[in-house]
Amino acid sequence: MKVLGIETSCDETAAAVVTEKGEVLSDVVRSQTELHAPFGGVVPEVAARDHAVALPPIIERALADAGTSIADVDGIAVTHRPGLSGALLVGVLTAKGLAWGARKPLVAVDHLVGHLLAVFLRREGAPEPPPHPFIALLVSGGHTAIYRVDRPGIDGMRELGATRDDAAGEAFDKVAKLLGLGYPGGPVVDRLAARGVAARAPVMLPKPLRGRAGGFEMSFSGIKSAVARHVEQTGVPEGEALADLCAAFQAAVVDTLVDKTVRAAREEGVGRIVLGGGVAANRGLRARMTEAATAAGLSVHVPPVASCTDNAAMIAYAGALSLERGEIAGLDLDVFTKTALERVTRKGGGKRPSLPR
């Protein structure tokens, strides 16, 4: 089975052709980062307009790279949630047009389900695929949460805890902005942190909700605010001091992510941890997670960066599995800004009153 996947939920325009076994026949991603950089973040209307221009040729290229055609694929999978509604609409309307014109089944994919299954994509650098169940840490610019994954599909995935405020990537981006390091900030902070020493940083950063506090919920805005206060008082550090501050910030974020994920695996009695999302590219996170998990007797499965950052291959793969289960969307498919996965964490803090499982 060959499925065409389409992804336009945020600031990557992407199309890919993938089989139900996870073989990546093509994978085309175009990032809008440069377009949004002057604004220091993603501007929704700019994103939607650019998707509308960029998507058709990207789909053509994905089909050509895979040596196939629209007539030859078994289905068309598209991200319809969560994301920016204008951006999502571009992908969904395009997918509907193709499905209708070529008389192919249309499959709706939740972007987070795509991320949680990206570890199964078979491509260079892919880790040993984990058997189910596994604990997944999804960390990106828009999402930061820990899931238990028992089966592919919405009903087999459960959030154990998420951030109450900023996503981890958002915190990296905001701190980079404060330090005048440009957008997106994660990769720059990562590079500087590798040269710095956290213990030498001139400021003590908080570790909110560490340990058992808040269950598996996390919080990153306090760490960012502490950096902001420090910069207000003493100005932006330079040279070695800047690298030390980046190292301290990164260590504070990474410690929380690792601590909560390893704790979740232990409490759930699950022996495998999977990483996903753009922040999974962070070298500090990869190293600390591997170290902590190994010490706890857990295996860690870290997909290659191309599978972690936003892409359409994960959408095509999740779509292929849905198609195998007969989950076909109608041409009245709508878009939603929120995920369909059940959430237990509220923005602003506090668990939801009752948690149906």
- Which positions touch Zn ion (CB under 5 A)? 140, 310
Among 22, 161, 185, 214, binds ligand KG4 (CB under 6 A): 185
**22 residue type, one letter:** G
CA distance 109 to 130: 21
Q: Binding to ligand KG4 by residue 196, rule CB under 6 A?
A: no
Q: Which of 82, 105, 130, 141 binds ligand KG4 (CB under 6 A)?
A: 141
The closest alpha carbon to 183, from 36, 333, 25, belongs to: 36
d(CA 94, CA 101): 11
Q: At its nearest, how many Å lie between Zn ion and the CB of residue 71?
A: 30
Comparing CB distances to Zn ion, the nearer of 261 and 311 is 311
User: Using a CB cutoff of 8 Å and minimum separation of 24, what contacts does 120-123 make?
Assistant: 120/22, 120/317, 121/18, 121/22, 121/24, 121/303, 121/307, 121/313, 121/314, 121/317, 122/21, 122/22, 122/23, 122/24, 123/24, 123/27, 123/304, 123/306, 123/307, 123/313
The answer to whether residue 249 forms part of the interface with ligand KG4 (CB under 6 A) is no
Binding track over 266-305 against ligand KG4, x by CB under 6 A:
-----------xxx-xx-----------------------
Could you say which residues in the range 152-171 bind ligand KG4, by CB under 6 A?
169
Q: Is cis: bond before 44, omega within 30 of 0?
A: no
DSSP annotation of 274: E
The piece of 121-129, 138-146, 195-203, 212-220 that touches ligand KG4 (CB under 6 A) is: 138-146
Number of residues that bind ligand KG4 (CB under 6 A): 19
- Site membership for ligand KG4, residue 255 (CB under 6 A): no
* Chain residues that interact with ligand KG4, rule: CB under 6 A: 10, 140-142, 169, 172-173, 184-187, 190, 277-279, 281-282, 309-310
